[in-house]
Amino acid sequence: MTTGLGTAPGRAYTATVDFDALKQVLAAFEREGVRYAIFGAAALNLHGLARFTEDLDVFLEPTADNIERLRTALSSVFDDPSIADITAADLLGDYPAVQYVPPSGTFHLDVLTRLGEAFAFSDLEVVRAPFDDLTVSVVSPRTLYLMKRDTVRLKDKADAALLKERFHIEEP
């Protein structure tokens, strides 16, 4: 059954993705047993620094079963046939980065199964963290720091500096 954010007749899509929408997505992940880890700006929020973000970055355990669970979870939130285009053939093959934009068009879900040669799912330090009344899986502050430290984007370097100071992270 599709709930919440689907294509209700006559409903505008201008205000669908917000705190509650992301909670619905993550609640669906938990319900369906998706093996995932949030990283990026959403992870920074969950570690205590509120920050606007227009995407949810998720690292996914790279198995066909897990990708099927992801599709099931997303389909329980969004009434969107394009979710079927998120495939194991891509994510386990030549396209380890897939971006899903729900019908609202107001945010995107970035799904990774590997990050270059630097990170695989098994390399991540993952912690369980509160997200309002949910508990979700998020990379640890240290892993988030390492992911942001060596990127080219200035905002990531600034985030890395904040994480290092806040969590007293030592260089490896």
Partner 1 sequence: MPVRKFRSVAELNQPIWRQPGDPALYRTMAALWDTGRRLQTRRFAPGVYRFRDIAALESAADDRPPHQG
- The burial of 44, by beta-carbon neighbours within 10 Å (0-12 exposed, 13-18 middle, 19 or more buried), is given as buried
Nearest residue (CB) to partner 1, 83 versus 120: 83
Q: How many residues bind partner 1 (CB under 8 A)?
A: 49
Closest approach of partner 1 to the CB of residue 50, in Å: 4
Contact 130, 108 (CB under 8 A): no
Q: What x-and-dash track marks residues 110-149 binding partner 1 by CB under 8 A?
A: x-x--xx------------xxxx-----------------
Enumerate the β-bridge partners of residue 119: 115
- The reply to whether 154 sits near partner 1 by the rule CB under 8 A is no
- The reply to whether 64 sits near partner 1 by the rule CB under 8 A is no
Contact 160, 145 (CB under 8 A): yes
CB proximity list for 155: less than 8 A, separation 6 or greater: none
Closest approach of partner 1 to the CB of residue 172, in Å: 21
CA distance between the termini of the chain? 47
Interface contacts to partner 1, rule CB under 8 A: 13, 15, 17-20, 45-55, 80, 82-83, 85-86, 90, 94-108, 110, 112, 115-116, 129-132, 153, 162, 166
